[in-house]
Structures are given as structure tokens and as C-alpha cells.
Amino acid sequence: MLARDRKSQGVGPRTVSSSVRPATDATRVPDDASLLKMLYYMKLTRALETRIERKLYRQGKIVGGVYVGRGQEAISVGAAMHMRRGGGEDHDDIVSPSHRDMAVFLMQGVPPEKILAQYMGRKTGLTRGRDGNMHMGDLRHRLIAFVSHLGDSIPVAAGCALTFRMHGTDQVSFCFFGEGATSRGDWHEGLNFAAVLQLPVVFICNNNQYAYSTHVSRQMKVERVSDRARGYGMPGESKDGNDVLVVYDAIGRAVERARHGEGPTLLEFLTFRMTGHSAHDDAGYVPKVLFAEWERKDPIRRCEDDLKGRRLLDAGAVQAMESRIEGELDEAVAWAEAQPYPSPEECLTGVYHEQA
Amino acid sequence: MALTTYVEAIKQGIWEEMERDERVFILGEDVGVYGGAFKVTEGMLDRFGEMRVIDTPISESAIVGAAIGAALMGMRPIAEMQFIDFISCAFDQITNFAAKNRYRWGAGVPMVIRGPSGGGVHGGPYHSQNPEMYFVHTPGLKVVAPATAYDAKGLIKAAIRDEDPVIYLEHKYLYRRIKEEIPKEDYIVPIGQAAVRREGRDLTILTYGAMLYQALEAAETLAREQGIQTEVVDLRSLLPLDKDAILKAAKKTGKVLVVHEDTRTGGIAGEIAAIINEEVFEYLDGPVLRVTAPDTPVPYSPPLEDFFLPNKEKILKAARQLAAY
């Protein structure tokens, strides 16, 4: 079934000469523009989150928690490449990101300055100061806001997919979570529900091996999150989450299944959280050797080297891309810092629907 | 005109809304093939098909969560809890996702969560609960509890058309015991409006759900035996409360008794007493009294459950105490 899907995929593997064939398990590779786009968004995500976590937070400009996805950028970027957008309610996919999927927000069209205003509690942030950090959503960007109760968005994502099934469209619901969330009852209920009703959901696990301080071995007895897929009667795979092409490939196949009415897929991407749980956490419980080991597998450098190998860019082009990003972020930070806070009495509004 | 039972009125309300608006659908355990444990959805599968009358796994959290997702995608889901006791399994989805969504990021969740609540049918601790106050304490939700067939239909329609999540508590004791003539024409009962069920000048009883009938019987006895004229107000909505109606009735008689089947501590009676104290204290001729269930789970055995439930005699005792002020 999966092999047939691969063949039916319109964007087939690019023909690349053996001399520049990259070291990746991916069986299909996007076009050059897409490859460059993926690198750009991984770099933008890293740079934005680095500013937030290591600069603005330390400067006291972000008052609440900060959770970033350093080292995990390939997963949300590779997945977001497959999200259909810009075609209206009966066409666009829907996304339920986790708190470590910043790239999804950027690729769904949320400008960095709006995200920064959100982090700073400003009136023009996505939640108008009602909530902080990655707790943001916007249906115009087809993004459902995450809640701290991990796993809650699994049944919600299934409900979005249920609507697509009812309407008979080929839209897909993308649902992200970490391996820690898979211990929640809602996660189980949501996967089972989606499988029983054969709903078009792609379940995407960022297995970064630590849930706060708890190692994955204390989270589950099975070796892989994807081992659980069989229990729900859906296909499951575990893949290298630090290779954006592998992610792109695996998500693409799951999306095809979903669009063709073949139901949900559980994909686990192995990666590593290259920072603490949040900005205040020094991750002293993580053996240093692991950081060193995963630093060598950094998804951005791998992608960059790969693209250099394909002769899509050189050192100068990389530098130009990074300069462009830093310039964009300078402007975004300046804009966000100039934004007003909400007025105190706005606390009382918007609990219920208000007549326009 | 034929009489319509309370349960039939709920069914009619849902049915008519599903005919009127194709975004309305129902999901829950045994709602399709079986027509629901209490037959509220009987016949709907045949009429509306399996994409709009959806049998689900035993997963209250997924049922509510999926309803939230569908609501965000523009649908108008009705999530049935087979017994409202099981709503506790979905507590997190209701209180953290559905209730807070609009406030946090402006995405409303128009959905109804409904199910049979209340005791009096020997259902025991897990088929008799009154969970209203868990949700009345959650900003962002609405909570309604009809007592009449007319209201059962009018409130389910209002709940389905509402832009926010509504918990709709149908009292299972009333399902087939209450029947009345209801209009054929489309109507709604607005959420947040109480109804005066009996006029009186001496004493006010505020109540809702199945206790309305105990209160009305008590009021009848008070009038017959002692000439005490009791005003009986059916709250109908617990969130939002009809504060105007409550204060008006309190000012009118100066003596307020709140009756509910829910347990005592943290019940709505305490909140109502506080509102009355804060806003119309100078009109009072006596303390705001409560007749409620005691602070225990709902017991099963008939003598235990009869002891647990408020009834006409308990209401009479409190009313006479209050009338003496």
C-alpha cells in the first residue's frame, strides 16, 4: 500500500547524479526551491527561538515560560511542507502544533513579529495577551492553539478530521506531540477514535527523549512510540527526525494515505531536545555526552551540507541567508517591543461570544 | 393536542435543529444503531445517516475533544454523555479546551454536551449525579437544566444555536413523568432567563430541575394549610444565572429559600445566597436558607436515596422556619 502511494505521488524523486547523492534514507526529494525553503525555515526557526530563549528572556522582556524546539526543527519543517494552504475552508489542511513546533507557525504564515508580540504579552500578539509563548493559534492560518495539558489536542485534531470526512473533502489534520504526551489517556482515546472512524489525521511524534526531566524509558515500556500504532490498527513508523528529507518523505506518504481516505498514520521522529525543558531549566539531568552526540546530528547543518553537496548553495549563500534572517528578526523584535500592552480591563472581555 | 414528554421534547428539539441546519450532528455512545440509552436519538440514524449520528468508542474525552475540533471547523456538534456522570472523563477537554478557547485566541466552540443527570431512579453513585457546579465554576461555559417539556425543547434549540459551549442537563427522573402540550412552531427558550412558576408574596423558592415539582407541591401545601403565598422561580439556566429574576423575587418577598438536588457545599444555593446578601440585603426579612442533598455520594438503596434527596417535606420544614421570621 505504501509503495503504491509512493508511485502515485506526483512529486517523484528527483534525478540526481550519484556524485551528489546525499546521505539520506529519503526516497523522494523535493525540488530545489523546496529544499532551499526548508533550510531557510529551519534557520529562521532556530534564529527566532534563540533570540527568544537566549536573549529576550534573559533580558526580562519575556515574562513567562519559554519552550523551544532547538534541534527538532526538521520535523515541523518537513511536515509543514505538505500542509495545503491558501485555498479556503474546504481546501486547507488544519494543524495542531505542539509547543516545540515553531516552524509550523512561520510556515503557515504567522509573521515573526506577531509571535514575538505574543511572547511579550502585547495586545497585538496572537492571543492579545491572554496566553503566552507557544499557546497560540489562529484559524485564519489554520492553526489550533496548544494547551498545557499534553495530549488534549489529539481528540481535537481527530474532530477536525471528522469534519473533513463528513464534508467528503481530502483535507488532512496534522497533529503534533512529544513522546511524553503519549502517556496521556487523551492520546490513547484520540488515536483509537481516529482509527475506528478512519479519519484523515497524521499523528506526528517529536520523540526528543526527555519530557521535562523524565527520560523516555520512564514514559513507556515499548521501544518505540510507533510500536503502539499496531494497537490502534493504523500504520506506524519510526524515522530519523534530524533529517528533513526523511521527515518530508515519511509525512508525504502519510498525507497521501489520509487524502485517499485510508485513515490515520502514526509517525515517530527520533530527535533530541538540545536545551532544557524551558528557558529556566539547565537540563543538568541530561548526560553531556548526549548533547555532544546529537550536536553532530544537527538537522540544520545536515541540511546545509546536503544542499551544498547538491550545489544549491555555497558558503556565501548561507551567509546571505543568515544575514537576511537576522535582519528580519531585528525588525520583528523592534516592532514587537513597540507594541502596546492590553489595557487592564480587557481582562473581562471575550469570555463569551459578543455581538459585533 | 397530544401531550409531549420531556424526553420526546429533547428529541424533537435536536431533530428539528438537524433538519434546519446541516452543521448539526450528534456523537456519543450507542446514539446510532441503538438510538441512545434513553432513546433520545431513536430514529435519527435512519433519517440523518451515519455521518451525522455517530456511534463512538467509550471515550468521553475523545467524544468531547472531537466535538471541539468539529466546532472549530464550523460544525455544531452535540456530544451525548450516556449518563452525565461520565462527563468527569471529559472534564479536561471541557474546562481547558472548550471553555478557554474563545478567551485565549478568539476561536469560539459552539457545541452542546448533554446527558441524563439526577437521582430518584435508584441509579446509585454513578448514574445519579448532578455535576453542574464543576462547570458553573468554569468561565466560558454555559449550563442549563430544564424542568419542563417546553423548556427542554426550547433550551436544547437555544443551546445548539449558541456560539459558546453549553452543558445541557436533562433530568432523567423527568424524562417520561413530565408531559405537556408544546407548540408545533419553532421556538427557543433563551439561555440565562429564569421563569416564575407560581406567584406569591410571602416567600420565594428558587430551584431548578426535578426539584421544581417538589417545590410546587410544597407551595401548594403552604397555601392550603397556612395561607402562605409562595413564589416559585425555576432558574432554568445556572450559568449565566438570571440575576435580575433572583433579585426581583428576593425583593418581592424578603424571604428566600434555595432548593437543589445537588449536594450542599459549593452548590449553587451558596452562590445565590451571596448574591442576594451583596445586592439586596436591606430587603431581607430572614436568612437565605438552603434545602439540598447532604454532602455524600448519591446512594443506591431506596431508604438511603430517599433520605439523600430533597423532597416536599424537607422544603416545607425549611419554608415554615423561614416564614416565621
Do B69 and A138 count as a contact with CB atoms less than 8 A apart?
A: no
What's the 3-state SS for chain B?
CCCEEHHHHHHHHHHHHHHHCCCEEEEECCCCCCCCCCCCCCCHHHHHCCCCEEECCCCHHHHHHHHHHHHHCCCEEEEECCCHHHHHHHHHHHHHHHHHHHHHHCCCCCCEEEEEECCCCCCCCCCCCCCHHHHHCCCCCEEECCCCHHHHHHHHHHHHHCCCCEEEEEECCCCCCCEECCCCCCCCCCCCCCEEEECCCCEEEEECCCHHHHHHHHHHHHHHHHCCCEEEEECCEEECCCHHHHHHHHHHHCCEEEEEEEECCCCHHHHHHHHHHHHHHHHCCCCCEEEEECCCCCCCCHHHHHHHCCCHHHHHHHHHHHHCC
Within 8 A of A350 by CB-CB distance, chain B residues are 102-103, 106
Q: What is the ipTM of this complex?
A: 0.96
Do B74 and A163 count as a contact with CB atoms less than 8 A apart?
A: yes
Interface of A with B (CB under 8 A): 89, 94, 126-128, 130-131, 135-139, 144-145, 147, 149, 152-166, 173, 185-186, 189-190, 192-193, 196-197, 350-353
Residues B33-60 have pLDDT tens digits of 999 999 999 999 999 999 999 999 999 9
Within 8 A of A173 by CB-CB distance, chain B residues are 69
Give SS3 for B163.
coil
Residues B210-232 have pLDDT tens digits of 999 999 999 999 999 999 999 99
Do B56 and A193 count as a contact with CB atoms less than 8 A apart?
A: yes
Distance from CA of B268 to the nearest CA of A (A): 21
pLDDT at A25: 65
d(CA B62, CA A156): 8
Mean pLDDT score, B286-314: 98
Report whether A98 contacts A143 (CB < 8 A): no
Residues B142-163 have pLDDT tens digits of 999 999 999 999 999 999 999 9
Query: What's the pLDDT band for B103 if we cut at 50, 70, 90?
Result: very high
d(CA B311, CA B306): 8
Q: Does B188 touch chain A (CB under 8 A)?
A: no
Q: Strands B237-239, B203-207: parallel, antiparallel or unpaired by DSSP?
A: unpaired
d(CA A116, CA A133): 9
Do A159 and B163 count as a contact with CB atoms less than 8 A apart?
A: no
- Closest CA in chain A for residue B57: A193
pLDDT, tens digit only, all 356 positions of chain A: 333 333 333 333 333 333 344 456 667 789 999 999 999 999 999 999 999 999 999 999 998 899 999 999 999 999 999 999 999 999 999 999 999 999 999 999 999 999 999 999 999 999 999 999 999 999 999 999 999 999 999 999 999 999 999 999 999 999 999 999 999 999 999 999 999 999 999 999 999 999 999 999 999 999 999 999 999 999 999 999 999 999 999 999 999 999 999 999 999 999 999 999 998 899 999 999 999 999 999 999 999 999 999 999 999 999 999 999 999 999 999 999 999 999 999 999 999 999 87
Report whether B44 contacts B53 (CB < 8 A): yes
Which grid coordinates are listed for B91?
472534564
| Out of A136, A147, A158, closest to residue B66 by CB | A158
Mean pLDDT score, B119-124: 96
* Cβ pairs bridging A and B (under 8 Å): 137
Do A152 and B93 count as a contact with CB atoms less than 8 A apart?
A: yes
d(CA A79, CA A77): 5
Q: Which residues contact A151 (CB under 8 A, 6 or more apart)?
A: A177, A181, A182, A184, A185, A186, A187, A190
> ∠ CA B286-B287-B288 to the nearest 5 degrees?
120
Q: Does B95 touch chain A (CB under 8 A)?
A: no
Distance from CA of A125 to the nearest CA of B (A): 10
Which of A352, A354, A355 should be substituted to probe chain B, the one whose Cβ sees the most B Cβ atoms within 10 Å?
Answer: A352
Which of B26, B55, B72 should be substituted to probe chain A, the one whose Cβ sees the most A Cβ atoms within 10 Å?
Answer: B72
Within 8 A of A185 by CB-CB distance, chain B residues are 61
Residue window 130-159, chain B: list those with CB within 8 Å of chain A. 139-140, 142
Q: Which residues contact B198 (CB under 8 A, 6 or more apart)?
A: B216, B219, B230, B231, B232
- Closest CA in chain B for residue A139: B107
pLDDT at A6: 35
pLDDT at A272: 97
- Closest CA in chain B for residue A124: B105
Do B103 and A155 count as a contact with CB atoms less than 8 A apart?
A: no
pLDDT at B168 over 50: yes
